[in-house]
Amino acid sequence: ETGVTQTPRHLVMGMTNKKSLKCEQHLGHNAMYWYKQSAKKPLELMFVYNFKEQTENNSVPSRFSPECPNSSHLFLHLHTLQPEDSALYLCASSQDATGTYEQYFGPGTRLTVT
Amino acid sequence: QKEVEQNSGPLSVPEGAIASLNCTYSDRVSQSFFWYRQYSGKSPELIMSIYSNGDKEDGRFTAQLNKASQYVSLLIRDSQPSDSATYLCADQLAGGTSYGKLTFGQGTILTVHP
């Protein structure tokens, strides 16, 4: 595997389900990010982890819960979602989050909440 | 509210022409700027980064930055139909508590017609 990978690529879940998105980066980076991309809206940063520590929560509702067990893996745990949470969820990584480093994106998970 | 503004387009250019994509930003302390290309149904792909005033060239792509005018642009020379995509502009603050935050514009849809 190379670059940034995400699983699953597509997910359909009901509002009462609990599911998790997984991201893995193979670039030796120390910072990982979750972004949300909704139709007709700019890409929106959700969370930032730098060396496994969360450094940014961009006012994200608590039904989204991130986890970063190490610098290579990032999870987004989902529970009690709403239909308006349907979007493309993108993971990205960079060398670290304290400098002006380029961010590289994974392929994304297309989430549909029914 | 820090903003990155792009003309959503669509911008249509003939094959072989120069495509010019523009972006303005509101935060005077923005330090780094990035252009991403996003094909329909895919994730953003980094194509250019620029940190200093002036031009930066990479193959058919030239990024231009003017910090005094808070303006960054992307020129695509010899446009090809395969360049048809949405182009996202993003800025990033340097250091402090910015923690690698990218702020994205809404993107410009580019169509290159044969």
Q: Tell me the per-residue pLDDT of A82-109, one tens digit each, with 9 for 90 and over.
A: 999 999 999 999 998 877 789 999 999 9
* Alpha-carbon distance values, A30 to A5, A67, A95 (Å): 15, 14, 5
Instruction: Specify the length of chain A in residues.
Output: 114
Residue-level pLDDT at B10: 92
Q: Nearest CB to B100: which of A44, A48, A90?
A: A48
Report percent pLDDT > 90 for chain B.
Answer: 76
Asked if B45's CB is within 8 angstroms of A105's CB, the reply is yes
Within an 8 Å CB–CB cutoff, is residue B95 touching chain A?
yes
Taking 70 as the pLDDT cut, the residues of chain B under it are 1-2, 94-99
Residue-level pLDDT at A79: 94
Q: Nearest CB to A48: which of B99, B105, B107?
A: B99
Within an 8 Å CB–CB cutoff, is residue B92 touching chain A?
yes
If you average pLDDT over every residue of chain B, what do you get? 91
CB A25 within 8 A of CB A110: no
Q: Nearest CB to B100: which of A31, A41, A88?
A: A31
Q: Rounded CA gap, B24 and A11, in Å?
A: 35
Matching residue, tokens 């930003």: B25
- Chain A residues lying within 8 Å of B43, measured CB to CB: 88, 90, 105-108
The string over B6-29, giving b where at least 16 C-beta atoms fall within 10 Å of a residue's C-beta and e elsewhere, is beeeebebeeeeebebbbbbeeee
Asked if B95's CB is within 8 angstroms of A105's CB, the reply is no
Residue-level pLDDT at B9: 83
Measured in angstroms, the CA of A107 and the nearest CA of chain B are apart by: 5
Closest CA to A7 of A108, A112, A113: A108
Residue-level pLDDT at B95: 59
Q: Identify the burial level of A110 via C-beta atoms within 10 angstroms of its C-beta, where 0-12 means exposed, 13-18 middle and 19 or more buried.
A: middle
Is the pLDDT reported for residue A21 higher than 90?
yes
* Residue A57 pLDDT grade (very low, low, confident, very high; cuts 50, 70, 90): confident
- Chain B residues lying within 8 Å of A56, measured CB to CB: 99, 101
Residue-level pLDDT at A56: 84
Q: Rounded CA gap, A19 and A1, in Å?
A: 24
Asked if A50's CB is within 8 angstroms of B100's CB, the reply is yes
Interface of A with B in 19-78 (CB under 8 A): 31, 33, 40-45, 48, 50, 55-56
